Amino acid sequence: MSRNRSFSPKVVTANLLREGDVVYLTEDDRWVASLTEAEVLTDEAHAQMRLVDADKPSVVVGTYLADVRVTESGPVPTHFREDFRATGPTNYAHGKAAEKDA
């Protein structure tokens, strides 16, 4: 797949309908809790197509594309809001903050 120079890498993210947890879409169409497993989308047309495909209203809510930066350890958020979604709150080891500690 060709890279689009003006398009910053993205992942598809949402919240689970039943639980509300933050999740990311993998290349094989699974919703996972860990951003590192997410499919990184580098082509705008493909990203839009994946976003449409990902809209499974009986599984997830509020699907959207989030900007990421690609590192050796996988995608990481470029904005602090997405960083908090990926890592959980800073005041308690709850949600993803608990998973991080574990």
Partner 1 sequence: MYHYTDFDRDFLAERNAQFRAQVERRLDGSLTEDEFKPLRLMNGIYLQLHAYMLRVAIPYGTLASGQMRTLAVLAEKWDKGYGHFTTRQNIQYNWPRLVDIPDMLDTLGEVGMHAIQTSGNTIRNVTADHFAGAAKDEIADPRPVAELLRQWSTDHPEFQFLPRKFKIAVTGSPNDRAVTRSHDIGLVMKEQDGEIGFEVIIGGGLGRTPMIGKTVRDFVPKADLLPYCEAIVSVYNRLGRRDNKYKARLKITVHENGIEEMRQRIEDRFAQLKPLFSGVDQVMLAGIEAQFALPAFTSNAPAPILDPVLQSFVDTNVTAHKRDDHAIVTISLKKHGETPGDATADQMRLMADLADAHAYGELRISHEQNVILPHVRRDALPVLFAALRSAGLGTANIGLASDIIACPGMDYCALATARSIPVAQEIAKRIDALRIEHEVGALKIKISGCINACGHHHVGHIGILGLDRAGVENYQITLGGDATETAAIGERAGPGFAYDQVVPAIERLILAYLDLRAGDEETFIDAFRRLGPAPFKAALYPQENQDAA
Chain contacts with partner 1 (rule: CB under 8 A) = 15, 17-22, 57-58, 61-62, 78-81, 84-85, 88-92, 94-96
**Checking phi first, is residue 63 left (phi over 0); if not, alpha (psi -120 to 50) or beta?**
beta
- Side chain identity, residue 94: H
Q: How far is the CB of 59 from partner 1 (least distance, A)?
A: 10
Q: How far is the CB of 8 from partner 1 (least distance, A)?
A: 12
Nearer to partner 1, 10 or 96 (CB): 96
Question: Widest CA span of the chain, in angstroms?
Answer: 42
Q: How far is the CB of 1 from partner 1 (least distance, A)?
A: 27
Beta pairing, strands 31-32 & 22-25 = antiparallel
